[in-house]
Amino acid sequence: MIILIGLPGSGKSTVGRLLARRLQLPFVDSDSAIEQRLGCSIREFFEREGEARFRDEEQALIDELTQAAPCVLSTGGGAVLRPANRQCLRERGRVFYLRSSPEEVFRRVQHDRSRPLLQVADPLQKLRELYAQRDPLYRETAHHVVETGRPSVASLVNWIAAQLELQRAAPKPIHTSEASL
């Protein structure tokens, strides 16, 4: 399982779709999956039930998705907020953190009204706060950090695919109990 994490608007869904196509794997966007399950948009659910209730639903879904068939999984930006999610993601897949600065993300999403956490008076400041809170959690969860600032989406997909290929080609570590000393 290949898992993409990062701030809202960091490119997880865009990169994920292309990566899945390249690797001939299904693509799953956890935000879309949770909206299907809830029967409404994340924004509506946030407004009606609150963030804590949403995070409960998200945690259950991440647990299920990471035990399903291999795929490329794009998570919601806040999926790393719960320790159980971080552990689940890191242990059950190869995690790539698509790291974008708050300013880069703001340029990409400033007109997107579907992101509930960014519907505030100063969305750039909100992104800076989210980054300060979440960057250490993304780094804790990720096996690889991918800087998304300059490279094209195709370049990002190529880099991730190369890392996966290197991982497959690397010799498996020998456990002391199996080695002949």
66 belongs to an annotated ligand binding site:
no
6 belongs to an annotated ligand binding site:
no
50 belongs to an annotated ligand binding site:
no
172 token code pair: 């498996």
DSSP string for the chain: -EEEE-STTSSHHHHHHHHHHHHT--EEEHHHHHHHHHTS-HHHHHHHH-HHHHHHHHHHHHHHHTTSSS-EEEPPTTGGGSHHHHHHHHHHSEEEEEE--HHHHHHHHTT-TT-GGG-SS-HHHHHHHHHHHHHHHHHHH-SEEEE-SSS-HHHHHHHHHHHHHHHHHSPPPPPTTTS--
14 belongs to an annotated ligand binding site:
yes
22 belongs to an annotated ligand binding site:
no
134 belongs to an annotated ligand binding site:
yes
100 belongs to an annotated ligand binding site:
no
12 belongs to an annotated ligand binding site:
yes
149 belongs to an annotated ligand binding site:
no
CB 106 within 8 A of CB 123: yes
82 belongs to an annotated ligand binding site:
no
39 belongs to an annotated ligand binding site:
no
Give the annotated binding-site residues for Mg(2+).
13
Which residues are known binding-site members for ATP?
9-14, 115
**Which amino acids are annotated as binding site, given as ranges?**
9-14, 31, 55, 77, 115, 134
Which residues participate in the annotated binding site for substrate?
31, 55, 77, 134
